[in-house]
């Protein structure tokens, strides 16, 4: 997120970040570390939250989504269990070895804050990969699912980070 984009939202940088988080992920909780590189603000989920919640969240999510006997999700959980840092969790996703655990290089969307169109780029980890063409007309359905995921997993701050969308 660039300086100019934040200034479009508000002249007050802290207020702009709060509005951005509230609109984009539905939370302004202290879930992110925010760093600045030149004029770009980078929002990264805090490592301590990932360490605390990632495996527990994925275990519950995979069980609820795929059931108990989905082989690939079990392999992913075992692979993640052998890793010791959130950075390695992300590196595993970047390899795109698993259908149910891979980084999406096509993510991005526009949000509206106070009638300002804001472009957001992000690098999510896909937890499911399903039929694209059949679902392209269900945008509000996706918003509903995002809200429901947050409600089903209230004990996880990471549940607020789940985005449901069509990639590619």
Going by C-beta distance under 8 Å and a sequence separation of 6 or more, which residues neighbour residue 76? 58, 62, 98, 100, 101
Mean pLDDT for each 10-residue chunk of the chain (168 residues)?
84 87 79 85 90 95 89 96 95 94 87 87 85 59 83 91 78
Residue 37 lies in a domain: no
Check residue 28 and give its pLDDT. 66
The CA distance from 12 to 17, in Å, is 9
Residue 10 lies in a domain: no
Number of structural domains the chain divides into: 1
Task: Specify the pTM.
Answer: 0.77
Check residue 91 and give its pLDDT. 96
- The 10s digit of each residue's pLDDT in 61-88 is 999 988 888 899 999 999 999 999 999 9
Residue 8 lies in a domain: no
Residue numbers of the domain that contains 161: 46-168
Residue 107 lies in a domain: yes
Both tokens assigned to 100? 């149910």
How many degrees, rounded to 5, is the angle at CA 91 between CA 51 and CA 66?
Answer: 70
Residue 130 lies in a domain: yes
Residue 21 lies in a domain: no
Residue 145 lies in a domain: yes
- The 10s digit of each residue's pLDDT in 112-130 is 888 888 888 888 999 987 7
Residue 166 lies in a domain: yes
């Amino acid at each position: 997120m660039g300086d100019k984009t934040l200034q479009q939202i508000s002249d007050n940088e802290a207020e702009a970040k709060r509005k951005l988080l509230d609109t984009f992920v539905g939370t302004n909780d202290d879930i992110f570390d925010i760093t600045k590189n030149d004029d770009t603000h980078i929002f990264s989920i805090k490592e301590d939250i990932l360490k605390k919640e990632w495996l527990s969240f994925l275990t519950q999510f995979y069980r609820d989504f795929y059931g108990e006997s989905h082989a690939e999700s079990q392999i992913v959980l075992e692979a993640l269990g052998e890793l010791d840092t959130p950075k390695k969790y992300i590196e595993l996703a970047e390899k795109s070895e698993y259908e149910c655990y891979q980084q999406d290089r096509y993510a991005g969307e526009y949000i509206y804050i106070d009638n300002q169109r804001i472009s957001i780029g992000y690098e999510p980890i896909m937890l499911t990969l399903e039929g694209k063409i059949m679902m392209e007309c269900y945008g509000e359905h996706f918003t509903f699912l995002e809200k429901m995921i947050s409600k089903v997993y209230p004990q996880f701050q990471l549940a607020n980070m789940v985005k449901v969308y069509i990639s590619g």
